[in-house]
Structure 1
């Protein structure tokens, strides 16, 4: 293998990925700001944010997964230079995203009492409920924003969503400061103050994206005569057929990690706080994988539109190799700084010691997690979603969850057992998904060769 055939694509891959990475960093920093600022109130408030966000992401993952269907369809239309087709996908995508936002909001409001049945500490649940109620209303702007974001990503115009999330993060930090602690004449709301900061910042994000799409020349051909009138069922069905397996892929993973949060809660407040620290740090590096996953979807989708399957495979492999290099670096950083990183969150020595051990394992699974994300992105760009959906289910719930559950609750490993299970599940997913990509691309190349 001539490595330069793949490393030559690194610059272009990063040019598409870096705004997504920074935008994703903005999302992660919202959570980081909430955790750091709420963490100053104590372990129970920090655990309550972890519990509420864990339950919230179970619902949000379905909506975000559906919105991911917009990107490969737009990328394919862009590869074909078919603006009219892209405009139709955009309109229907925003329509579905808006409907999903309201559905998720109502589902969250109706599910808040589930926290009482999750064997969590009572003090944590009582703090989590009002936080959860407020962030439920933020699901509407989040989903509308996702619709616009996935549309822009499909056109390789990833910088606008990045700008929206970075500015929104500043807004979130400001409102966190004044509402959690009661500064500058604002009421002192504690944990729920951070939820209002998140809500306000998310309304800004969707407003910013609407403004950009209306005012930017590159988007204007796609919004001519934009209206929700004449919604076509076949287009809705096409997005649905691509969206629901993608939604379930994400749901399987998010619910696995959420289950880890709930199991950690059963082990006690300190274990849950330590688990949240390790999970938040892992999310910081996960943004890199998300950026390259979007890049894989866009670039592979473009090549699918051109029916150039040799180039499709080469581009996909170049992104996988880049991901490996980056994740090896982050894994090393996690191992080296394992004892220092937890101290930025809390000063509870038991929480810090447990988190340090979890961070070592998180360092090792960086590689598996990154690979499975970018391969999923490439398969999504090929609009191959149903088999990957099955692979993720098997990896996370047939293999991973039983290991998490058994090691955490039936061995002395406790919280460490949760993370061993996560590592095994992500590794299985990465291997199986890559085998799927390898088989599918080789088959398409052979079929194209036979036709010519």
Structure 2
């Protein structure tokens, strides 16, 4: 990571980090895509089972990832402070936490997975596929969580391209394993949709192995003794990660689960409405990878500058990231609105579904802009390690504004399913405004020291 002095240099630095992160995000999205599509080619019941399994796993994974990705802003600040030993200690204790969390999730799954699936009253084959898929996936929890910690460390050093290469190398492996386990090829058992879980787990072990090897042997990562003194354990180090990570993880979990609740509420509408909503949401979720990638880069850059006591640079990065996210969200949103019928046609051949999806996508434009503001403002606050109040703000926005306002607009203002889109947009905009005000406060009141630059 290089010191920057102008807005042009800062913009370039953001994109240097951003583009590999975005490609990595797309790669991780592709794994879920492979699981779903290839299971659907095997059998529709297996497709449904994998979809149900993914819907159960997604909020849990996103929440836990939020906890472990706290390694990134903490390590970035230590890196900015030139405290190499402390960077290594943070990563090492992140690995400890990943082991503890993986064991906890597996134990909880052992006791609660069957009761959850039973309450969903699914067809027997769908329930069995969902259960077997999640069991298969559980074998990859430990390497996945360790990979997230090592990925956070690599991001903290600004070397985002490394993770991108690892992810791109793993995609053909994942595709091959999916094909082999789902359809029973090359002497492997024919497992149907459940095979996607085992294939993904093996892929996670390969990804973790490659990342571990690079961190241990390649510069600049090998100069940090991450894997040395693994017997040294400090609860205080774990506590620091949890203090930052738990609010981050809960915020992500509540945001993800909010969309799941909206999906459940919409299940009372017609099949056409549900299909149109899911299609529009899928498009928006895909485009959301851009602001979330900007957010990841922003957390690292702000954290590094705060650690180096370059508070002016941290402030400039914060608002530059917010502005870039708004501009990109507006640009992509306008394109989606202009070509909304063509985009909707990718998801369905039914005229009614296409027309309603296209209508939803008009609301999605404003939703996307609001989401971009709140995501990047929150990311900048994470760079300052200010997460507790931000978590409360987002919790209020998601559950006390988005859902109630959406419900009222849908059922008492005659807007139907469109009311939920408006509710989501209003809530996310409220979160964006509140988080931006908090960011201004943090920058003015807590980080107003005069930046002293070296004179060469």
| 1:191 and 2:188 aligned | no
Equivalence for 1:298: 300
1:132–1:269 distance in 2 versus 1, CA, 3 Å: farther
State which of 160, 175, 178 in structure 1 corresponds to 2:177: 175
Q: Which moved more, 1:50-59 or 1:71-80?
A: 50-59
Unaligned 5+ segments in structure 2 are 452-456
How do residues 78-117 of structure 1 correspond to structure 2 at under 5 angstroms? 78-112=79-113, 113-117=115-119
- Change over 3 Å in CA distance of 1:163–1:401 after alignment to 2: same
Structure 2 Cα separation of the partners of residues 121 and 349 of structure 1:
30
- Classify the secondary structure of the residue corresponding to 1:244: helix
Relative to structure 2, which stretch is displaced further, 16-25 or 226-235? 226-235
Question: Are 2:294 and 2:325, in contact at CA under 8 Å, matched by a contact in 1?
Answer: yes
Q: In structure 2, what is the equivalent of residue 245 of structure 1?
A: 247
* Mapping for residues 199-348 of structure 1, pairs under 5 Å: 199-223=201-225, 226-265=228-267, 267=269, 272-345=274-347, 347=349
Q: Offset of 1:330 from its aligned partner?
A: 1.2
Distance 1:172 1:433 in 2: 38
Aligned-pair CA distance for 1:20 = 0.8
Structure 2 residue aligned with 1:147, among 143, 149, 174? 149
Q: In the TM superposition, what whole-angstrom CA distance separates every residue of 1:102-135 from its partner, at most 9, and x where no partner exists?
A: 2223333433332443577887656533333322
TM-score scaled by length of structure 1: 0.88
Segments of structure 1 that go 5 or more residues without pairing to the other structure are: none
User: Using a 3 Å threshold, how does the CA distance of structure 1 residues 322 and 257 change in structure 2: closer, same or farther?
Assistant: same
Q: For residue 444 of structure 1, what is the aligned residue in structure 2?
A: 446
Q: Secondary structure at the match of 1:217?
A: coil
Q: CA deviation at 1:379?
A: 0.5
State the distance in 2 between where 1:72 and 1:204 align: 26
In 1: Cα distance, 2:348 partner to 2:284 partner: 17
Q: 1:55: how far off?
A: 1.7
Aligned equivalent of 1:24: 25
- How many Å separate the matches in 2 of 1:298 and 1:70? 10
**Alpha-carbon distance change, 386 to 156 in structure 1, aligned in 2, over 3 angstroms:** same
SS in 2 for 1:320: helix
How far apart in 1 are the matches of 2:353 and 2:189? 30
* Aligned match of 2:364: 362
How many residues are paired up? 446
Is the 1:52–1:132 Cα contact (8 Å) retained in structure 2? yes
* Alignment partner, residue 163 of structure 1: 165
CA RMSD of aligned residues (A): 3.0
Change in Cα spacing, 1:154 to 1:271, as seen in structure 2 (3 Å) is same
- Would the alpha carbon gap of residues 234 and 75 (structure 1) be closer, same or farther in structure 2, given more than 3 Å must change? same
Greater mean deviation of Cα atoms: 331-340 or 82-91: 331-340
Output one character per residue of 1:364-421: Cα deviation in whole Å (capped at 9) or x when no partner. 3221212211111110110000010101100101111223445567787554444333
Q: Distance in 1 between matches of 2:426 and 2:233?
A: 44
Distance 1:156 1:18 in 2: 12
Counterparts in 2 of 1:5-20, with a 5 A limit?
6-20=7-21
Give the TM-score taking structure 2 as reference length.
0.87
Deviation at 1:12, TM superposition (A): 1.0
How far 1:209 sits from its partner (Å)? 0.8
Distance 2:351 2:176 in 1: 29
Deviation at 1:186, TM superposition (A): 5.5
Superposed CA offset, 1:237-260 (max 9, x none): 111211111111111111112223
